[in-house]
Structure 1
């Protein structure tokens, strides 16, 4: 499971005295442990991906804040954090691949956005972020 990979990378970061990686991996391990505790059993792969996606989203928000504040030091740190977190996600699909998958799933012109997203979200969970999915869905409907 992902928790073992996170723990192994955390140990490696500690040995290499990589403070940024150590902080990110500790945060991710804590989030995974918390989610597992709340559920009361081991997380499925999809649930683990959802936890990582939540951390990625928060990091994106922090990165935007750092850019608005013009803080180059924070921008560099948040980009590194994002890179580490994304290494735990499956390969992200391109917009073309997302569009192909959605067309095959039956999303067509004139469809309601809510209905289309109900089809798209579970289909592409972990394979693309929500903003990209929404953008492609809008272009299709």
Structure 2
């Protein structure tokens, strides 16, 4: 079942259950998917990779907004962002732990023969391909930088 169909079914279920929190998150996902489809062209379906990227973008936006609201002591808005984040993360593939990402990046460093920070681009290119949808790009970058600089 395509993601959009699943979202539509979940929206109906949330409406019937009067679950406004879940409904808000699902509507945000649907809006983002429709926007991505409009950009690509109405006749083309979104690939699974594109759908995951849209969801990751939404999750990242929610995390950044939540951080800002927390710093500004706006707990009401922080709570809304975190509730939506939980709904969005429910549709994302399982994220790898930091240790799992470290192991994969270490393996890629060995495979490419990377020796220092100058090889960061080569390692990041492969890591982003291999870990697409399974880990945050910022986390991958931090780990690769740490491993390549030897800190």
Q: Is contact 2:25–2:83 with CA below 8 Å preserved after alignment?
A: no
Matches within 5 A, 1:1-141: 1-40=2-41, 41-105=44-108, 106=111, 108-111=114-117, 112-141=119-148
- Distance across 1 between alignment mates of 2:142 and 2:6: 32
Q: Displacement, 1:69?
A: 0.9
Structure (1 or 2) with the larger CA radius of gyration:
2
What SS is found at the alignment partner of 1:126?
Answer: coil
- Distance across 2 between alignment mates of 1:24 and 1:18: 10
Q: Is contact 1:63–1:78 with CA below 8 Å preserved after alignment?
A: yes
- Distance across 2 between alignment mates of 1:109 and 1:97: 21
Higher alpha-carbon deviation: 99-108 or 83-92: 99-108
Q: Displacement, 1:2?
A: 1.3
Q: Is contact 1:109–1:140 with CA below 8 Å preserved after alignment?
A: no
- Distance across 2 between alignment mates of 1:109 and 1:5: 45
- Distance across 2 between alignment mates of 1:109 and 1:9: 48
- Distance across 2 between alignment mates of 1:123 and 1:37: 28
Q: Displacement, 1:24?
A: 1.6
What SS is found at the alignment partner of 2:100?
Answer: helix
What SS is found at the alignment partner of 1:62?
Answer: helix
Q: How many residue pairs end up in the alignment?
A: 141
**Ranges in structure 1 where 5+ consecutive residues have no aligned partner:** none
Q: CA RMSD in A?
A: 1.5
